[in-house]
Structure 1
Amino acid sequence: MKVIILGAGRRGLLMARQLIAEDNDVVLIDSDPARIEDALSRLDCMGIVGSGMDVEVLKSADCEHADAFIAVSDSDEINLVSCGIVSTEFGETKTVAAIRNITYTGQAGLKGALLGIDYIANPDEEAAKSLHAMIESGIFGNAISFTRSDLLLFTFSVKHGSPFADKHISALRGSMDAEFIVAAINRSGTVFVPSGTSVIKVGDTVSLVAKDADIDILRGSAGYFRKRPKSIVMVGGTRIAHLILKEFPPETRTCVALVDRNREVCEQFASHFPGILVLNAAITDDSVFEEEHLASYDLLLSLTDSDELNIITASYAKRAGNMYSVALIRDNNNYVRLASMLDIDAVISTTEATADSLLRFLRGDNVSSLHLLFKGQLEVYEFTLSAEAEVCGKHLKEIDIRGKGIVAGITDTDGRDVIPTGEYLLKAGETVLVTVSKKHAEYIRRLFD
């Protein structure tokens, strides 16, 4: 694709990096010359200094022949207007935008298109979806859930004494009381899609796909244990906290405490969610954790508007006794890398969640989700198989993807999760999970999309 990205900030650079890695032609537009200069020093793309609301700038970026225009500048208004101009002037170009202010979309989202924009992603809503999925699965940090499948992808390091160590994958599957597929192995920074004859070694990082019921067996075998959170404390009465609470059933809300230093915010949450415990206090107050017994909760979500406070709070909570802690990152994605060093179980980045949502839309209706593993060296696609797909109607053993990718799981049209063998016959309407090395991603997309 030829893709034009308005905004060379954190979201724009993240999306540009991913699109370039997939061999797409990317043009970045930003009104700040320093941002464009920095982007061009790090990325293999074209950069233009100018306004996304200037038709001449859009023409110089060759918007007329672009497949997509992505508006992720720091201004909602600029994103909206620039997409509107592109829709009007270059009608064949698909437009997507990140819009934070719900004034433009309403609390429940838009029922129709706004200014001709094909797709809008709200960062708060995307982060809330990711957090809710994480809570529902009961897994933090080392597993991925999917949009249309209940299968899970679990990533772990192989330790000394692990039943996975020094075993052929084919023999390993026969020796465990669980069905799974090893989707990828990261060995000293080299990532590959294994075959049945591959041997897992101590120190390898392994990604496998299994049913939810089998994940617990596999996690226990690997030395990782899971317990679903029964009680949750949320720090920060933000919109993300509000969105998550809306998804909880009434019985779950009775096990939730919310902490915020703003009395008016506390009153609003108490009014909207009468079942929760609302604490009007500053989380930085030494006495709050002890007096309110916050360390006794299974999970702490730090959801304030301050990345620094979220990281500090989540790290302190883990040391104070909380089983799990999760930090929200709004602005500084560098904190994502620090999380594991501070004993935080997981970090949710609004930047990454928004970029994932926008890219998922651009990839088409048949791609329900896309996840990146091992710094983007491996991609995990969730395809909804169409009757026109090249692989539809074929047995897996007839599809030549050896060494390039692997079909790691299938959810059939009746909602049954399947860990497939080579005899499985692919049918239209099924959800298919495929892991693929980045260099073969285009080939896999042509087969399954």
Structure 2
Amino acid sequence: MKILIVGAGRVGTSVAENLVSEHNDITVIDPEPSRLSDLQERFDLRGVVGDGSQVSAMERAGAEDADMIIACAASDAVNLVACKIARQVFNVPRRVARIRSSEIPAMPELLGENGFCVDALISPESSVTDYLTKLVEFPEALQVVDMAQGRVSVITMRVSLDGFMANHPLKDLRAMNPDVNAKVVDIMRLGRAITISPETILRPGDELLLIADTIHAHQAVHQMNRSKDQVRRVMIAGGGNIGARVARNLASEGYNVRLIEQSMERCEELATTLPGDVLVLHGNGTDESLLERENIEEMDTWMALTSDDEDNIMSSLMAKRMGAQRVIALINRQAYGELMQGSHIDIAISPSQATMSELLRYVRRGDIVGAHRLRGGLAEVLELVAHGDKKSSKVIGKRISDLDLPKGASIGAVVREHNIMISDPDVVIEPEDHVIVFVPSRDQVRQVEKLFQVSASFF
């Protein structure tokens, strides 16, 4: 796929890095030559110096035969204009814009064919906010994503020593609680994926991927890990866009939230715009005396959400040492995140991975309505729609157990109108079913896409 990326900032660089690794033809447009030089040294892509909102720059980038444009410059205006030019001048089929403003998504008339011709919006801040809110809702989890319009939850977590399923075979998950509609599709043990079967015994410390009917998600998680108490008190360091969004979301759900912000001007703004039950504190998250005064040891969750990786790491380490039950840090540099994940920092969040999960559904081929990166981007979970009939489709009319899936891949759920079918290999795929597929390696995604493609005879 030939993809144009407008903007070589933090988001654009991350998007380019992820997509070029999947053998796409990538061209990046940015006004700063130094940024493009760095990208071209690191990755197999082309850089074009220019303004992505100018026709001439688009022309030099080869927009006339591009399959997709992803406009993720720092300016909303540049991104919107770039999409409009891509559509009306060069007829680029797919157009995605990164938007910071919360007003634009609420005005769909601005985005359609009579507006800026945007097919889809992505918001890194919104993606990370949703990601963090889910982690507070599921304190046992390392990652939580929703699929099938929120009806199915995909949860990464570890088995605790006192979990009901610890030292029990997988088949006991349904036997111990037959009303829980859930399935384990993958297990990592000591850093390696293991082959699983109903007889596989879960060990404390195993990292597993659980797919569950959202209604039963909390019960299923509790079977694996019951060491966490319900979260009620949350302290956030950083009152930027993400910190403020998370504080607002959590306060609306009834959590006790304290927000630390270094800028007095920003503190005053937050105090007037956030709900009244959010306590806004002026200070720095690395200030030990401030954390002590605010009883950090009583906090169920600490979140470091500033724009500075080093500050987020240091404040999280300090909060953990001073007694915070669980610490979560926002870390932009991938190397830092991999180093800190699972150490004294319980969860390291990469904004780029959250953004990529939002983008994947538009980059993937076939009728994929949802896609999320797992295991730091190594694996994926896809939501595909089964189209066609028995003659034109390789999946319709077949049992799950008979599908030719790549090695290690598995179907976690089939969503059909009012039914969610999990952990049943005898389910037969029907037209318009939404199928949730776990793929352990990104290299195998194309095989799954081909499996669900409809033959030309159907049309």
TM bracket (short chain)? 0.7 to 0.9
Whole-Å separation in 1 of the counterparts to 2:174 and 2:141: 28
Residues 318-337 of structure 1 aligned to structure 2 (within 5 Å): 318-329=320-331, 331-337=332-338
In percent, how many aligned pairs have the same letter? 26
Residues 152-171 of structure 1 aligned to structure 2 (within 5 Å): 152-156=154-158
Deviates more, 1:53-62 or 1:420-429: 53-62
Letter matched to residue 215 of structure 1: A
Q: Which residue is 1:295 aligned to? A: 297
* Conserved 8 A contact 1:387-1:427: no
Q: 1:314, CA displacement in angstroms?
A: 1.7
**What SS is found at the alignment partner of 1:141?**
strand
Q: Which residue is 1:99 aligned to? A: 99
Higher RCO structure (Cα 8 Å, ≥6 apart): 1
Q: 1:206, CA displacement in angstroms?
A: 4.3
* Conserved 8 A contact 2:236-2:247: no
Whole-Å separation in 1 of the counterparts to 2:369 and 2:228: 27
Letter matched to residue 111 of structure 1: P
Letter matched to residue 67 of structure 1: D
* Conserved 8 A contact 1:139-1:228: no
Whole-Å separation in 2 of the counterparts to 1:107 and 1:57: 25
* Conserved 8 A contact 1:383-1:433: yes
Q: What's the TM-score once normalised by structure 2's chain length?
A: 0.79
Residues 75-94 of structure 1 aligned to structure 2 (within 5 Å): 75-94=75-94
**What SS is found at the alignment partner of 1:153?**
strand
RMSD of aligned C-alpha atoms?
3.7
Corresponding residue to 2:437 among 434, 439, 443? 434
* Conserved 8 A contact 2:86-2:92: no
* Conserved 8 A contact 2:95-2:120: yes
Q: 1:74, CA displacement in angstroms?
A: 4.3
Q: Which residue is 2:384 aligned to? A: 383
Q: 1:288, CA displacement in angstroms?
A: 1.6
Q: Which residue is 1:110 aligned to? A: 107
Q: Which residue is 1:235 aligned to? A: 237
Letter matched to residue 103 of structure 2: G
* Conserved 8 A contact 1:173-1:179: no
Q: 1:402, CA displacement in angstroms?
A: 5.7
Deviates more, 1:107-116 or 1:202-211: 202-211
1:421 and 2:418 correspond: no
**What SS is found at the alignment partner of 1:318?**
helix
Whole-Å separation in 2 of the counterparts to 1:404 and 1:291: 50
1:397 and 2:401 correspond: yes
**What SS is found at the alignment partner of 1:3?**
strand
Alignment: residue pair count: 436
* Conserved 8 A contact 2:141-2:157: no
Gaps of 5+ in 1: none
* Conserved 8 A contact 2:286-2:318: no
Letter matched to residue 391 of structure 1: V
Q: Which residue is 1:447 aligned to? A: 451
Residues 242-261 of structure 1 aligned to structure 2 (within 5 Å): 242-248=244-250, 250=252, 252-253=254-255, 255-261=256-262
**What SS is found at the alignment partner of 1:327?**
strand
Q: What's the TM-score once normalised by structure 1's chain length?
A: 0.81
Q: 1:257, CA displacement in angstroms?
A: 1.9
Whole-Å separation in 2 of the counterparts to 1:202 and 1:135: 22
* Conserved 8 A contact 1:98-1:354: no
Q: 1:309, CA displacement in angstroms?
A: 1.9
**What SS is found at the alignment partner of 1:151?**
strand
Q: 1:94, CA displacement in angstroms?
A: 1.5
Q: Which residue is 1:49 aligned to? A: 48
Q: 1:250 to 1:434 in 2, by over 3 A?
A: closer
Letter matched to residue 306 of structure 1: D
1:394-428 deviations in Å (ceiling 9; x for gaps): 431342226262101234422x5432322113345
Whole-Å separation in 2 of the counterparts to 1:93 and 1:242: 35
Q: 1:252, CA displacement in angstroms?
A: 0.8
1:271-326 deviations in Å (ceiling 9; x for gaps): 34112333334434332222221320111122233332222222211111111111
Q: Which residue is 1:316 aligned to? A: 318
Q: 1:264, CA displacement in angstroms?
A: 4.3
Whole-Å separation in 2 of the counterparts to 1:202 and 1:317: 26
1:409 and 2:406 correspond: no
* Conserved 8 A contact 1:16-1:26: yes
Letter matched to residue 423 of structure 2: P
Whole-Å separation in 2 of the counterparts to 1:180 and 1:279: 42
Whole-Å separation in 2 of the counterparts to 1:358 and 1:212: 25
**What SS is found at the alignment partner of 2:152?**
coil
* Conserved 8 A contact 1:65-1:93: no
Q: Which residue is 1:25 aligned to? A: 25
1:69 and 2:69 correspond: yes
1:235-273 deviations in Å (ceiling 9; x for gaps): 2222223323443465615x2222234444434434341
Whole-Å separation in 1 of the counterparts to 2:230 and 2:206: 27
Q: Which residue is 2:120 aligned to? A: 119
* Conserved 8 A contact 1:194-1:403: no
Q: 1:430, CA displacement in angstroms?
A: 4.5
Residues 355-366 of structure 1 aligned to structure 2 (within 5 Å): 355-363=356-364, 366=367
Q: 1:214, CA displacement in angstroms?
A: 4.5
Whole-Å separation in 2 of the counterparts to 1:157 and 1:217: 10
Whole-Å separation in 2 of the counterparts to 1:2 and 1:107: 28
**What SS is found at the alignment partner of 2:118?**
coil
Gaps of 5+ in 2: 454-459
Deviates more, 1:110-119 or 1:311-320: 110-119
